[in-house]
């Protein structure tokens, strides 16, 4: 049983030295517990925040202990009612080959309905984030124009497609490479730009000459500033993430135009997907239907081997993923 420990806390950008591959015993379940052989684990931007020793909405990772996070795998031993070897479960103890879980921390998923990795991507946490953020937090209405940043990523690519399905008049995405921009167009975005090509503010103005009504923020900084500049009266932003500043050691230089929020009567609303569990059933119903009907596509970038999980995480921060970044354990 191999697992990845946090060896040291990163200052600024993390490096491979911040992680350690450790050999551990395969655990045995006590009454009420199960042991799961993980098949896929998720690496997510929020994990960077948990590597800092600061109080936040999730506790920090501990040094010299395994990291954790979303994973799916097969039950290999069970002392818990309702679970048997061979069951596929979703749970929160990734970054290891074998996980020892209390039964109440595991949720059974049906591997015949979707590839098991989908429970960590399109049908999982990032899918619900896109759905809840766009429809509930920003309250997108048909006929509105929508801008989403990190649009070729897991959350962003779904935000854009859901917006189109829900009748957005124009959907604009930004991403970090020409290949990603091409992918966004293939996914049905009306316009897309590479944010390296010039000031985001100018690129967005060109892509959305009539302004935007909704901004789904995954990036913060200059992207948020550009969105505020392009927002129409009564525009709303769902503030989902600010990945541009997760590795910065200085406070961000942008947005510098927050005062526009007043005159334009804008709403900037932060949210955490964990508060939107009430939408889960509706989300799964809608998303499964869209997938079945071929109305939504999703990308996954899969890195093989638990030993490469740190590299997958670093790659995610650098933008090496198209869609959801996953590790096949
Ligand atoms: P993604 O799949 O979008 O991967 C992250 C992407 O961010 C990279 O692929 C990269 O793409 C982009 N990126 C990295 N650095 C920068 C930068 N400096 N400027 C612009 N883009 C950058 O990850 P997720 O879909 O999992 O998450 C997207 C966002 O949503 C994150 O901010 C995350 O923290 C947030 N989130 C929030 C949740 C909540 O409950 N509030 C829940 C889940 C996610 P590129 O090549 O385009 O630069």
pLDDT at residue 266, as a whole number: 98
Q: How far is CA 28 from the centre of its chain?
A: 32
pLDDT at residue 265, as a whole number: 98
Computed over its alpha carbons, how large is the radius of gyration of the chain? 20
Q: Which two tokens stand for residue 94?
A: 């990734």
CA of 325 to the centre of ligand 1 (A): 11
pLDDT at residue 72, as a whole number: 98
303 touches 315 (CB < 8 A): yes
pLDDT at residue 101, as a whole number: 98
For tokens 């049906």, the residue is: 110
Q: DSSP 3-state assignment of 33?
A: strand
Ligand 1 probe mutation, 243, 244, 275, 324, most atoms within 8 A of CB:
243
- What tens-digit pLDDT sequence spans the chain (329 residues)? 999 999 999 999 999 999 999 999 999 999 999 999 999 999 999 999 999 999 999 999 999 999 999 999 999 999 999 999 999 999 999 999 999 999 999 999 999 999 999 999 999 999 999 999 999 999 999 999 999 999 999 999 999 999 999 999 999 999 999 999 999 999 999 999 999 999 999 999 999 999 999 999 999 999 999 999 999 999 999 999 999 999 999 999 999 999 999 999 999 999 999 999 999 999 999 999 999 999 999 999 999 999 999 999 999 999 999 999 999 99
Q: DSSP 3-state assignment of 6?
A: strand
* CB distance 219 to ligand 1 below 6 Å: yes
Q: Which two tokens stand for residue 159?
A: 């935000």
* CA-CA-CA-CA torsion sign (107, 35, 48, 320): negative
CA of 219 to the centre of ligand 1 (A): 6
Domains of the chain: residue spans and CATH = 2-121+299-328 (3.90.180.10), 125-274 (3.40.50.720)
The ipTM estimated for the assembled molecules is 0.99
pLDDT at residue 48, as a whole number: 98
First to last CA, the chain: 11
Task: Give the global pTM.
Answer: 0.98
CA of 218 to the centre of ligand 1 (A): 5
Q: Of all helices (H) and strands (E), which one includes residue 311?
A: helix 309-318
Residue 142's contacts (CB-CB under 8 Å, 6 or more residues apart) are 166, 167, 168, 169
**Which residue, judged by its Cα, is nearest atom 17 of ligand 1?**
244
Ligand 1 atom closest to Cα of 272?
40
CA of 70 to the centre of ligand 1 (A): 16
Give the number of other Cβ atoms within 10 Å of residue 147's Cβ: 31
Ligand 1 probe mutation, 150, 271, 300, most atoms within 8 A of CB:
150
pLDDT at residue 59, as a whole number: 93
pLDDT at residue 214, as a whole number: 99
pLDDT at residue 225, as a whole number: 98
Ligand 1 atom closest to Cα of 318?
14
CA of 316 to the centre of ligand 1 (A): 8
CA of 153 to the centre of ligand 1 (A): 6
Secondary structure (DSSP) of 108-164: E--TTTS-GGGGGTTTSHHHHHHHIIIIIIS---TT-EEEESSTTBHHHHHHHHHHH
């Amino acid at each position: 049983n191999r697992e990845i420990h946090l060896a040291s806390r990163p200052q600024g950008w993390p490096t491979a030295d911040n992680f350690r591959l450790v050999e551990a015993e395969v655990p045995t379940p006590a009454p009420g517990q199960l042991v799961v052989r993980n098949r896929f684990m998720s690496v997510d931007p929020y994990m960077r925040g948990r590597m800092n020793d600061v109080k936040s909405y999730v506790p920090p990772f501990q040094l010299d202990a395994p990291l954790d996070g979303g994973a799916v795998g097969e039950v290999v031993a069970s002392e818990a009612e309702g679970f048997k070897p061979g069951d596929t479960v979703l749970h929160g103890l990734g970054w290891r080959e074998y996980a020892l879980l209390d039964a109440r921390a595991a949720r059974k998923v049906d591997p015949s309905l979707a590839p098991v990795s989908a429970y960590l991507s399109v049908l999982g946490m990032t899918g619900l984030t896109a759905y809840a953020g766009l429809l509930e937090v920003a309250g997108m209405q048909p006929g509105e124009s929508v801008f989403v940043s990190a649009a070729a990523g897991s959350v962003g690519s779904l935000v854009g497609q859901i917006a189109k399905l829900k009748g957005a008049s124009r959907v604009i995405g930004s991403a970090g490479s020409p290949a990603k921009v091409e992918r966004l167009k293939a996914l049905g975005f009306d316009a897309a730009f590479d944010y390296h090509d010039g000031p985001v503010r100018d690129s967005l103005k060109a892509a959305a000459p009539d302004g935007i009504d909704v901004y789904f923020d995954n990036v913060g900084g200059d992207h948020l500033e550009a969105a505020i500049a392009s927002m129409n009266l009564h525009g709303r932003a769902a503030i989902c993430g600010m990945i541009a500043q997760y590795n910065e050691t200085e406070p961000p230089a942008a947005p510098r135009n927050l005062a526009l929020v007043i005159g334009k009567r804008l709403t900037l609303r932060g949210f955490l997907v964990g508060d939107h569990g009430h939408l889960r059933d509706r989300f799964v119903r809608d998303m499964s239907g869209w997938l079945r009907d071929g109305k939504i596509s999703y990308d996954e970038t899969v890195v093989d081997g638990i030993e490469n999980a740190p590299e997958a995480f670093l790659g995610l921060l650098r933008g090496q993923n198209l869609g959801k970044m996953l590790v096949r354990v």
